[in-house]
Amino acid sequence: MELIYLDNNATTMVAPEVKEAMSPWLDLNYGNPSSAYSFGRNVLDAIDLSRSQVASLIGAKPDEIIFTSCGTEADNTAIASALSANPLKKHIITTVVEHPAVYNYCAVMETRGYKVSYLPVDSLGRLNLKDLESAILPDTALVSIMYANNETGVVFPIKEIGQLLKGTGIIFHTDAVQAVGKVPINVKELNLDMLSLSGHKLHAPKGIGALYVRNGLPYHPLLIGGHQENGRRAGTENSASIVGLGTACQLVENLISKEVAYLTQLRNKIENTLLNNLPGSIVNGDTENRLPNTTNISFEYVDGEAILMMLDMQNICVSTGSACSSGSSEPSRILSAMSVPPTAIHGSLRISLSRYNTVSEIDKALDVVIPVVKKLRAMSPF
């Protein structure tokens, strides 16, 4: 049975070009990039090229890119560094809809004496800039607000936030794990101090990420040890995966305009078909400011987990929310923050697309989803 994979916000397949680029650095060129001889220096040269490729995608300079093991490490490092750079300031501003890598880290900091302001969102998942402005205190060290939400795809007003914070001395970090490679990003135009990204969200392998740190920003490494990453992140570099990340960034930089148009077309096809054939369906989130590849739809009086299991039996992969929150029987924290009605909140599906999805796949998936929802509704006691 053909696999139809529609959960690309959870992870993506490794692009064939990425796999090919990584191969030599997994077998023939296995030297340590810290070694003085040419067998190691060749690896270091490959890492430097990848650093340039990552930087180019987000409008940064190569020496502003630090390779990490994942987006979570990048987020944790950004927050820890910002707080270390401002030891006398004990206030953090974030949102109620952040990824657990930010949300839970901030919760831990509350137990260590920090005050955290969790900004609300409205029913469309949007942030009110006035709430942010009102939350700023003389004691504020850091504002960490995601670029795009992993469950709804809603894009936050990062440029406006950067303008608001410019000149305040408050460090501005964004978790852009879901946005990099899906929408054009330029860190300089956005007035960002730090940005996190993850390879496995843009067709690079798992286990590799990066953190952008603006030149001149005080920085304190999370991992202490050797001199790797110019002393900013200890540990022998994951050279093959770094090459993979660089290749993935170069690929998507060349394709991004075409991809945005293609994915928007597929996403709109999904939404229009489901809404037209299944009354009582709701698109969750701002339909104007969002990622092109993501839709989150609630079906009233249906259990989303039941839909997921029945689709899984047909080899169709979707999600009921974030992969990092799977296994929880509680309603989505994100949808709860948006006040999605009780009749709909448990019946939500997140469908997230990639360049490798086809119109034929979408048609086949829709031919399964619609009767599944109708069947479950017929079985519902409500």
**CATH code assigned at 128:** 3.40.640.10
Label each residue of the chain as H, E or C.
CCCEECECCCCCCCCHHHHHHHHHHHCCCCCCCCCCCHHHHHHHHHHHHHHHHHHHHHCCCHHHEEEECCHHHHHHHHHHHHHHHCCCCCEEEEECCCCHHHHHHHHHHHCCCCEEEEECCCCCCCCCHHHHHHHCCCCEEEEECCCECCCCCEECCHHHHHHHHCCCCCEEEEECCCCECCECCCCCCCCCCEEEEEHHHCCCCCCCEEEEECCCCCCCCCCCCCCHHHHCCCCCCCHHHHHHHHHHHHHHHHHHHHHHHHHHHHHHHHHHHHHHHCCCEEECCCCCCECCCEEEEEECCCCHHHHHHHHHCCCEECECCCHHHCCCCCCCHHHHHCCCCHHHHCCEEEEECCCCCCHHHHHHHHHHHHHHHHHHHHHCCC
Q: Indicate the residue among 251, 272, 295 that finishes a domain.
A: 251
- CA 240, 245, 246, 252 torsion-angle sign: positive
Read off the pLDDT band of 1 (50, 70, 90): confident
Q: pTM for the whole thing? A: 0.96
Residues 85 and 208 in one domain: yes
Read off the pLDDT band of 379 (50, 70, 90): confident
Read off the pLDDT band of 380 (50, 70, 90): confident
Of 14-28, 63-77, 255-269, 310-324, minimum mean pLDDT range: 310-324
**CATH code assigned at 373:** 3.90.1150.10
* Position with higher pLDDT, 85 vs 327: 85
- Portion of the chain with pLDDT greater than 90, in percent: 94
Q: Which helix (DSSP H) or strand (DSSP E) does residue 121 occupy?
A: none
Backbone angles phi, psi at 180, to 5 degrees: -60, 130
Q: Indicate the residue among 197, 220, 251 that finishes a domain.
A: 251
- Confidence (pLDDT) at 64: 98
Residues 188 and 71 in one domain: yes
Model confidence at 240: pLDDT above 60: yes
**Mean pLDDT across 326-355:** 88
Residues 233 and 89 in one domain: yes
How confident is the prediction for the chain on average, in pLDDT?
Answer: 95
Tens of pLDDT along 78-117?
999 999 999 999 999 999 999 999 999 999 999 999 999 9
- Confidence (pLDDT) at 255: 94
**Domain carrying residue 364:** 4-12+255-379
Residues 39 and 109 in one domain: yes
Residues 39 and 92 in one domain: yes
Tens of pLDDT along 158-195?
999 999 999 999 999 999 999 999 999 999 999 999 99
- Confidence (pLDDT) at 382: 65
Model confidence at 141: pLDDT above 60: yes
- Alpha-carbon span 262 to 292, nearest angstrom: 9
Residues 323 and 211 in one domain: no
Read off the pLDDT band of 321 (50, 70, 90): low
Model confidence at 329: pLDDT above 80: no
- Confidence (pLDDT) at 322: 47
Which DSSP symbol is given to 323? G
Model confidence at 17: pLDDT above 70: yes
Residues 219 and 133 in one domain: yes
Residues 28 and 170 in one domain: yes
Helix, strand, coil % in the chain, rounded to nearest 5: 45, 15, 40
Residues 235 and 296 in one domain: no
Residues 246 and 318 in one domain: no
Residues 83 and 215 in one domain: yes
Q: Indicate the residue among 236, 251, 266 that finishes a domain.
A: 251
Which position among 70, 249, 317, 324 bears the catalytic label?
324
- Portion of the chain with pLDDT greater than 70, in percent: 97
Active site residue 249: no
- Confidence (pLDDT) at 331: 86
Count how many domains the chain has: 2
Residues 233 and 291 in one domain: no
